[in-house]
Amino acid sequence: MGELDRTITLAINGLHCPTSDAFWIFLSDKVTTAVIYIIVLAIMFWKLGWKKALFMLLTTAIILGLEDQICNLIKDFTARLRPGNDPIMLERGLYLPIPASARQIHGFPSAHAANAFGFLTCVTMFFMAGAKGRFGEAALQPETGKVVKWVVGVLSVWAFLISLSRVFLARHYVGDILFGGFLGWILAFGGCMFALYLWRRYSKK
Domain of residue 18: give its range: 2-202
> What SS3 class is residue 131?
helix
CB atoms within 10 A of CB 132: 12
pTM of the full predicted structure?
0.92
pLDDT digits (tens, 9 = 90+) for 36-64: 999 999 988 888 888 888 999 999 999 99
Question: Which pLDDT score, from 0 to 100, does residue 35 have?
Answer: 95
Number of domains in the chain: 1
Identify whether the C-beta of residue 18 lies closer than 8 Å to the C-beta of residue 176: no
Residues whose CB falls within 8 Å of the CB of residue 8, separated by 6 or more in sequence, listed in order: 174
> What are the tens digits of pLDDT across the range 148-183?
788 899 999 999 999 999 999 999 999 999 999 999
